[in-house]
Structure 1
Amino acid sequence: MSHPARAIVCYDTHDNGGWKLEDVTVRGPGEGELLVEMAASGICHTDALIGGTPGGATPIAFYPRILGHEGSGYVKEVGPGVTVAAVGDPVLLSFAFCNKCEICKAGRVSHCNKFTEDNFGGPYNVFKVGDKDISGQFFGQSSFASLSVVKECSVVNAKGLVADKKELQLFAPLGCGIQTGSGTVINAAEAGPEDVVLVMGLGGVGLSAIMGAKIAGCRKIVGLDRIKSRLEFAKQLGATDVINGAELPEGKDLAEALKEVCDGEGPSICIDTSGAPPLIKAGFASVRNRGKYVQVGSAPFDFSLELNLVQFMLEGKQIFGAIEGHAYPPEFVPKMIKWYKEGKFPVDKLMKFIKAEDFEQGLKEMHDGTTIKPIMCWS
């Protein structure tokens, strides 16, 4: 049985005018799937990245499809074998994972062997416009639709976690951007009170990392960006120091400026959320001996970082990537909600609610820095 809905259908890149809000139909849920009526969906830079890549440029760039991966809503139907939630339950949505590979069995689900296939792959026939198939299940959810078929692994049951629909909408982005930032500090980098943490790029992920570092009690928390309002915001959320990358001291390059602010030694933990090659190079160069560099932002597909392995060995640095903050959402999402309710994690300061039909404005404000995290409300 099919169901009517509204969705942002991507027929081509956003720059080519390919994103359209349209009437669609949605199939019913199959084995291990739920039909979810979306209350809200955060807009993330990953949506813009994938929906801005020309079809065929990479295996994960194809059209038509429906994006969105920071959803929340209410369960309308459940397919065979589903146990995570029942009809009527409020749910928060996150990423998909196979739960079968050795990585998943070890509890490291954000680095599942099938992560790319299960989150970015397809086409998976979930939606239709007329007789034309439209791919869904982006991150197991495709929350840029008022009604969507969601994989059970992407679902966090929010029954008992949220007080009302407004909270359910507020917490929609927890399942990706917010857990990526805070989780990278707490789970991946394992930051503590002795650490000097540098966060490069102060969008939703970066500012969540700032809040995570404050929760971890890090003695120095440094934020880097080029937008002055974000630098000021970072200080409000817990940054002890900020650096405007567009206003470096005369005669100093970026790596030198980063080291100087971080005790003259460099950060013990550097987290890049920007994906910008110049920042990546400078950030890694600035890390102190035995420090950690964590890549979170999506760099250009053809960018490679060169290392002198002798120097790398002598300095004892670590470099690794982190997806979704090394989080297991059914455990980490409730933890973030608890921090919020204790007043330690003011995610509401990052959010702006918009109507789904105003998604173009939300994208614009996310890119120009006017809004940190736009949340589209479907109802």
Structure 2
Amino acid sequence: MTTTFDIPKTSRAAVLTKHSEPLEIREIPVPQTLEPGALLVRIEAATVCGSDLHLWDGSLGGSQALDLPVIPGHEMVGKVIAFGDGAERDTFGTPLEIGDRICFTHASCNQCDHCRFDNQPTLCTNRQYYMFTNCERPPYLVGGFAEYAYVFPNSGRVRVPDEVETSWASAASCALRTVVHSFERIGKMNPWETVVIQGAGPLGLFATALADHLGAGRIITIGAPDNRLAIAKQYGATDLVSVAEHPEPEDRITAVRDLLGGHGAEVVFEFSGARTAFTEGLGMIKEGGRYMVTGQIDGPGKEVPVRPGFITRQQLTIMGTWSGHIAEYRKALEFMKNTHGKYDFGALVPNRYRLDQATEALTRMRAQEDIKPMLVPHGTEGI
């Protein structure tokens, strides 16, 4: 193991012990030796994802097995403080040095059919997850809401470009990389196509910017509140549909079709997570169109009525996207590196919170008072 730092014995972490209860600040053991291929990082920033919010309130249970207590957080940027043997390069061969900033993924096994045969590592049947893994067993530091984190040997990792601010990179490490994955699956954006984006949270806003960058001819972003729609406009939305002004699903379908002369859109992205969003999206899509569903989570109460014959008759292409892997992380960071002069990525992460304010950050996100709260475990200055 290579290090030029004294590795601390313990790390403060905000720990989920019971759903919807305040996170508990605990001292968590720091591994003193690393497996080959592993890294130890000092967390510089951890942004709050919608999945962290659903983890906290218990609604994410249908998506992934959970063994409390856990450390929430899977969107984070860490500075390397120690290398396991053979970990001195990122996934793409870029040399890493002590002090370099990296983003890193959940760890896929590289052995199952999804990893090796299908080339879909986000579906890995043996995946090691941050935020879902019990923090009372080694390697302990398996979530972003902590001062330090353990990078699994099989975790993809990518060095953050110097041009990309830490706060942006943290937000990119789940929200934007998932958007990138969704766009890659949906296919090419064409200048004669209309794209509807359901949701004006972090996913929907990043998607608005990416659709604009990729040349979509018309972009309709649906969401609320008004300050988020204002960012969508800055990011390239040609039209906005306010959920506050169109509170019912049928109102939103009508609003989109009115904008398009009674027609539907060629491409619809669901990034809102709202229970009714899927059936709404079906009402907004053009015959022969493409629909990407990314914002939905599984679980009781999420069922909606669907007429399969409508999908058949309209000849729709419907796909889903789960998470993203290291290639999408790198593409997300490259997008930020190349376009930060055009899109104000900092508008998504204006507020910083100490580790002991993690519950406040979650509460503010749930109330839509923050788009993307950011925890700064070592202090809020300078990030």
Match of 2:4 in 1: none
Could you say what secondary structure the match of 2:288 adopts? coil
User: Which residue is equivalent to 2:51?
Assistant: 46
Question: Offset at 1:52?
Answer: 1.7
Q: 2:262 and 2:220 mapped to 1: Cα distance?
A: 13
CA contact (8 A) 2:16 2:68 kept: yes
- Pairing 1:112–2:123 present: yes
TM-aligned CA distance change 1:11 to 1:168, over 3 Å:
same
1:372 partner SS: coil
In the alignment, which residue of structure 1 is the partner of 2:9? 3
Equivalences for 1:193-212 in 2 at 5 Å?
193-212=191-210
- Asked if the contact 1:6/1:24 (under 8 Å) is kept, the reply is yes
* Structure 1 residue 24 corresponds to structure 2 residue 28: yes
Contact 2:109-2:127 within 8 A present in 1 as well: no
Q: Among the aligned pairs, what percent are the same residue?
A: 23
Instruction: Assess if the C-alpha contact under 8 Å between 1:197 and 1:218 holds in 2.
Output: yes
Q: Deviations over 1:138-164 (max 9, x none)?
A: xxxx111111111244343326x125x
User: Residue 131 of structure 1 aligns with which residue?
Assistant: none
Gap change, CA 1:359 and 1:243, over 3 Å in 2: same
**Scaled by the length of structure 1, what TM-score is found?**
0.84
More displaced, 293-302 or 184-193? 184-193
TM-superposed CA distance for 1:55, in Å, is: 10
Q: CA RMSD in A?
A: 3.0
Give 3-state SS (helix, strand or coil) of 1:357's partner. Answer: helix
Structure number with greater CO (CA < 8 Å, separation at least 6) is 2
Amino acid at match of 1:5: S
Aligned to 2:275: 277
More helix by share: 1
> Structure 1 residue 227 and structure 2 residue 232: aligned?
no
Check if 1:162 corresponds to 2:162. yes
**C-alpha distance 117-284 of structure 1, shift in aligned 2 (>3 A):** farther
What is the CA–CA distance in structure 1 between the aligned matches of 2:37 and 2:79, rounded to whole Å?
16
Correspondences of 1:17-166 after superposition (within 5 Å):
17=22, 19-28=23-32, 29-53=34-58, 60-82=65-87, 83-84=89-90, 85-105=96-116, 108-109=119-120, 111-114=122-125, 118=129, 121-123=132-134, 125-126=136-137, 136-137=141-142, 142-158=143-159, 161-162=161-162
Q: 1:228 to 1:79 in 2, by over 3 A?
A: same
Q: How does 1:163-312 map to 2 (within 5 A)?
A: 167-248=165-246, 253-302=251-300, 303-312=302-311
> Secondary structure at the residue paired with 1:111?
helix
- Contact 1:54–1:61 (Cα < 8 Å) also in 2: no
Distance 1:111 1:31 in 2: 23
How far, CA to CA, are the matches of 1:169 and 1:7 in structure 2? 19
Moved more, 142-151 or 228-237: 228-237
Helix, strand or coil at the partner of 2:286:
coil
Q: SS at the partner of 1:65? A: coil
Cα distance in 1 for partners of 2:350, 2:69 equals: 28
Please tell me whether the aligned partners of residues 200 and 229 of structure 2 are also in contact (alpha carbons under 8 angstroms): yes
User: If the length of structure 2 is used for normalisation, what is the TM-score?
Assistant: 0.83
Q: 1:67·1:143 contact (CA, 8 Å) conserved in 2?
A: yes
User: Match of 2:282, SS?
Assistant: helix
Q: Hey, what does 1:377 align to over in structure 2?
A: 376
Instruction: Name the aligned partner's letter for residue 43 of structure 2.
Output: M
In the alignment, structure 2 segments of 5+ residues that lack a partner are 1-6, 91-95, 379-383
Partners of 1:280 and 1:10 in 2: CA distance: 31
Equivalent-residue separation in structure 1 for 2:186 and 2:137 (angstroms): 34
